[in-house]
């Protein structure tokens, strides 16, 4: 189906090739998960498949790409487009029609199908992605997950043989992610559509893939079936890629297995011979030493700092919200009756579905939106009578899209901008420290717009850090970031005891770094407490389209009160002899996914 041989590609104006001797074969009907650190060339590789590179991009191209035996370099880009459908990260950048029907019909219309045939193809494509009931809906009225399914339907209406997807779920809540991935998997199985999916969230997507391919520095450095890929855990750790928690757990317990879900892990643990496979758990690294790239150590992200997150919190309330109602239209309130106190040095994760009001809450905290009813006091001042500029230097806001925050000629200038405007002292020192904290000091002379997305986000964060605001607000700081980047950033906030409010869909990161988690649903806070308290409440999580991290699910079934891989391993280690000596109770339970499985109770 796809055969790539010794592919080299250099973008126009660059000297260093982005792709360096890629060799890859993908069979018809395979589901390949392509991952790797940011800027390693994954997206570039996808664009070569339908001829955008080199036909539209220019640049230096060498090597061979054959799609169904046809050399892309010799083919018309338009013909290639019909065979390879591309879906990108942000559906808002791809959808241009105002109704779903028009959007999906665009491709078949361009291919000159008859009206009846277009009508049929639109209906079929929408049915395939479970959106046939939305045919006449406005594209603006759809949720993020629904929009992304429309983007997939756009391609399916043209019946491509290959679906190439570039981080299609990175901005979605877990519920939307599952919807889209289940759809793609079903299409892959039923229609034998070959799927190439680029994504950082390896730990969530691995269960859907047949094969995992890792790129680094423009080369493919790893290519294994998904079932065996995690036997080589050191590769993932070395590149800072997140590994599914069940895999981490089994490896930490010395079990030679790579289960990709809680259910599989429980089955592995339940096997009689697991006792023979179990060896003494390895000593886990000290969480306080586990910073930055070195966090690739065995414990995994959720394993290191629950104790740190329980640090005593300063009781000074710096944000006080009373009966807040707010929105963009007085007839349609986004936030409804919010009451909230935020104390100094708290790190609060705001979670919930797309459209639940997370970003609106942040905008209120920055005084960029005013309450329709109720009050918001930030640093003792009522935001109703203030404009956001009166909080300049005291409240820092980093938007989800860092591109809107970068306008200087170098990363260093970005970091200097705030302190210069606010006439602070030690400007050089502030800029250097913030750039260093975000690990971009070596890029300080680079044009911010030319950096990778992860680097751009860290530049935007550095530009806020240099001001040293009393409150930092981050809107989805983990989107499209690899694990090393996320941890470097969040470790900085943790170590500096910053007051931080951040929106995220990543429950593992929230558990790891937040001192408190807020769960929002339809504009209301439906849970507010320490991660451990919130995560126990399955009903609340379900309402917010969240699920327990696999390790918590496993711990629940094992009857252990553990919230991270580290804790679970330690508890199992403590009870190791008990486990081995206890009778294995074969009991059937039904997990949260409704799947029956046998578990060990210790």
Stretch that binds other proteins, among 84-92, 142-150, 343-351, 433-441 (CB under 8 A): 84-92
Size of the site for other proteins (CB under 8 A): 70
Stretch that binds other proteins, among 208-216, 296-304, 427-435, 461-469 (CB under 8 A): 461-469
Instruction: Give me the sign of the Cα torsion angle 295, 299, 302, 307.
Output: negative
Site track 8-47 with other proteins (rule: CB under 8 A), x = hit? ---------------------------------------x
Three-state secondary-structure class, residue 421:
helix
Cross-strand partners of 397? 473
What are 276-279's contacts with CB under 8 Å, separation 24+?
278/253, 278/254, 278/576, 278/580, 279/254
> Does residue number 81 form part of the binding site for other proteins (CB under 8 A)?
yes
Is there a contact between 213 and 35 (Cβ–Cβ < 8 Å)? Answer: yes
99 binds other proteins (CB under 8 A): yes
Q: Which stretch binds other proteins (CB under 8 A): 9-17, 116-124, 569-577, 590-598?
A: 116-124
CB of 67 vs other proteins, minimal distance in Å: 13
Which of 31, 222, 391, 513 touches other proteins by CB under 8 A? 391
Using the 8-state DSSP alphabet, how is residue 373 labeled? E
- 232 versus 424: smaller Cβ distance to other proteins: 424
Return the biggest CA–CA distance within the chain. Answer: 71
Contact string (CB under 8 A) for other proteins, positions 149-168, x = contact: --x--xx--x----------
Q: Which of 140, 307, 310, 426 binds other proteins (CB under 8 A)?
A: 140
Nearer to other proteins, 47 or 432 (CB): 47
Among 60, 78, 580, 589, binds other proteins (CB under 8 A): 78
Give the residue, chosen from 316, 329, 425, 588, that forms a contact with other proteins under the rule CB under 8 A.
329
Q: Tokens 């629940």 — which residue?
A: 556
Closest to 57 measured CA to CA, from 32, 39, 27, 77: 77
- Closest to other proteins by CB, 46 vs 552, is 46
Q: How far is the CB of 460 from other proteins (least distance, A)?
A: 9
**Contact 64/21 with Cβ under 8 angstroms?**
no
Report the residue number, 292 or 388, with the smaller CB distance to other proteins: 388
Beta strand pairing call for 516-521 and 524-529: antiparallel
The two structure tokens encoding residue 9: 């590609």
The verdict on 84 binding other proteins (CB under 8 A) reads: yes
Task: Select the residue interacting with other proteins from 20, 63, 102, 282 (CB under 8 A).
Answer: 102
Encoding tokens for residue 455?
A: 């680097």
Q: Which residues lie across from 138 on neighbouring strands?
A: 99
Q: Which residues inside 195-224 make contact with other proteins, applying CB under 8 A?
A: none
573 belongs to the binding site for other proteins (CB under 8 A):
no
Binds other proteins (CB under 8 A): choice among 19, 32, 45, 122: 122
Residue 238 found at the interface with other proteins (CB under 8 A): no
CA distance 579 to 557: 14
Residue closer to other proteins (CB basis): 122 or 534: 122
Report the DSSP pairing between strands 499-503 and 347-352.
Answer: parallel
Helices within 366-465 (DSSP H only): 411-421, 427-437, 453-465
Q: How far apart are CA 337 and CA 314, in angstroms?
A: 25
Closer to other proteins by CB, 138 or 582: give it. 138
How many other CB atoms are found less than 10 A from the CB of residue 429?
A: 12
- Does 88 participate in binding other proteins (rule CB under 8 A)? yes
Angstrom CA distances, 338 to 243, 332, 381, 530, stand at 36, 15, 18, 18
Using CB under 8 A, which of 26, 105, 214, 555 touches other proteins? Answer: 105
Q: Which is nearer to other proteins, 142 or 395 (CB)?
A: 395
Query: Phi/psi at 589 (nearest 5 deg)?
Result: -125, 165
- Restricted to residues 396-435, the positions that interact with other proteins (CB under 8 A) are 396-397, 399, 401, 403-407, 417-418, 421-422
Query: Which residue, 112 or 590, is less far from other proteins as judged by CB?
Result: 112
Residue 107 sits in the site that holds other proteins (CB under 8 A) = yes
Task: For other proteins, give the closer residue by CB, 50 or 548.
Answer: 50
CB of 107 to other proteins, least distance (A): 4
- Least distance (Å) from other proteins to the CB of residue 399? 7
Residue 181 binds other proteins, judged by CB under 8 A: no
Q: Cα separation of 348 and 533, whole Å?
A: 14
Cβ atoms within 10 Å of 389's Cβ, excluding its own = 8
CA–CA gap between residue 143 and residue 146 (Å, rounded): 5
Stretch that binds other proteins, among 111-119, 225-233, 239-247, 515-523 (CB under 8 A): 111-119
Collapsing DSSP to helix, strand or coil, 39 comes out as coil
* Structure-derived torsion over alpha carbons of residues 292, 296, 297, 301, reported in degrees to the nearest 10: 80
Q: Strands 381-382 and 395-398: what pairing? A: unpaired
Q: Find the binding residues for other proteins in span 527-546 (CB under 8 A).
A: none
Nearest to 487 by CA among 505, 513, 464: 513
User: In whole angstroms, how far apart are CA 72 and each of 68, 87, 92?
Assistant: 10, 19, 29
Interaction of residue 73 with other proteins, rule CB under 8 A: no
Shortest Å distance, C-beta 137 to other proteins: 11
Cα(461)–Cα(469) distance, integer angstroms: 11
Nearer to other proteins among residue 61 and residue 230 (C-beta): 61
State the Cα–Cα distance between residues 72 and 49, nearest whole angstrom.
8
Strand order in the sheet with 211-216: 84-87, 162-166, 194-198, 31-35, 211-216, 219-225
Site residues (vs other proteins, CB under 8 A): 47, 50, 52, 56, 77-79, 81-82, 84-86, 88, 90, 92-94, 96-99, 101-102, 105-115, 118-119, 122, 138, 140, 151, 154-155, 158, 328-329, 366, 368, 388-389, 391-393, 395-397, 399, 401, 403-407, 417-418, 421-422, 449, 463-464, 467
């Amino acid at each position: 189906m796809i055969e790539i041989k010794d592919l080299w590609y250099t973008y126009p104006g660059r000297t260093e090739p982005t792709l360096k001797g890629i060799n890859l074969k993908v069979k018809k009907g395979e589901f390949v998960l392509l991952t790797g650190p940011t800027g390693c060339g994954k997206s570039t590789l996808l664009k070569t498949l339908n001829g955008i590179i080199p036909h539209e991009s220019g640049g230096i191209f060498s090597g061979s790409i054959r799609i169904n035996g046809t050399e892309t370099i010799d083919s018309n880009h338009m013909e290639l487009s019909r065979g390879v459908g591309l879906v990108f990260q942000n559906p808002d950048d791809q959808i241009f029609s105002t109704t779903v029907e028009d959007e999906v019909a665009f491709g078949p219309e361009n291919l000159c199908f008859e009206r009846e045939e277009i009508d049929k193809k639109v209906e079929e494509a929408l049915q395939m992605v479970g959106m046939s009931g939305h045919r006449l809906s406005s594209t603006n009225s759809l949720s993020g997950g629904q929009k992304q399914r429309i983007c997939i339907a756009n391609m399916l209406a043209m019946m491509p043989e290959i679906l190439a997807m570039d981080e299609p779920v990175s901005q979605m809540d877990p519920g939307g992610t599952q919807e889209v991935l289940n759809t793609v998997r079903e299409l892959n199985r039923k229609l034998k559509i070959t799927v190439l999916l680029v994504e950082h969230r390896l730990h969530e997507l691995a269960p859907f893939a047949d094969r995992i391919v890792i790129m680094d520095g423009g080369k493919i450095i790893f290519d294994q079936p998904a079932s065996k890929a995690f036997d080589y855990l050191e590769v993932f750790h070395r590149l800072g890629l997140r590994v599914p928690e069940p895999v981490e757990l089994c490896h930490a317990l010395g079990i030679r297995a790579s289960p990709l879900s809680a259910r599989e892990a429980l089955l592995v643990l339940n096997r009689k011979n697991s006792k023979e496979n179990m060896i003494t758990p390895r000593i886990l690294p000290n969480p306080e030493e586990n910073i930055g790239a070195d966090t690739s150590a065995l414990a995994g992200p959720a394993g290191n700092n629950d104790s740190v997150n329980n640090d005593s919190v300063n009781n000074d309330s710096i944000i006080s919200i009373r009966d807040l109602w707010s929105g963009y239209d007085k007839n349609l309130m986004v936030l409804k009756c919010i009451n909230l106190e935020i104390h100094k040095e708290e790190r609060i994760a705001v979670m919930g579905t797309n459209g639940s009001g997370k970003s609106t809450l942040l905008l209120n905290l920055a005084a960029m939106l005013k309450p329709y009813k109720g009050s918001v006091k930030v640093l003792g001042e009522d935001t109703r009578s203030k404009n956001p500029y009166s909080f300049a230097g005291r409240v820092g806001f980093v938007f989800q899209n860092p591109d809107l925050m970068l306008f200087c000629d170098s990363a260093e200038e970005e970091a200097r901008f705030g302190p210069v405007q606010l006439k602070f002292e030690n400007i050089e020192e502030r800029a250097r420290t913030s750039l260093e904290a975000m690990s971009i000091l070596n890029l300080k002379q680079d044009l911010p717009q030319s950096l990778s997305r992860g680097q751009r986000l860290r530049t935007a964060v550095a530009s806020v850090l240099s001001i040293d605001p009393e409150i930092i607000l981050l809107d989805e700081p983990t989107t499209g970031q690899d694990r090393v980047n996320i941890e470097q950033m969040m470790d900085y906030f943790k170590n500096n005891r910053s007051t931080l409010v951040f929106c995220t869909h990543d429950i593992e990161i929230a558990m790891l770094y937040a001192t408190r988690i807020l769960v929002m649903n339809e504009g209301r806070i439906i849970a507010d407490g320490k991660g451990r308290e919130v995560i126990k409440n399955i009903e609340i999580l379900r309402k917010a389209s969240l699920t327990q991290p696999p390790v918590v699910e496993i711990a629940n079934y094992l009857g252990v009160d553990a919230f991270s891989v580290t804790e679970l391993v330690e508890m199992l280690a403590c009870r190791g002899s008990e486990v081995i000596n206890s009778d294995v109770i074969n009991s059937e339970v039904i997990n949260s996914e409704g799947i029956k499985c046998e578990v060990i109770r210790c």
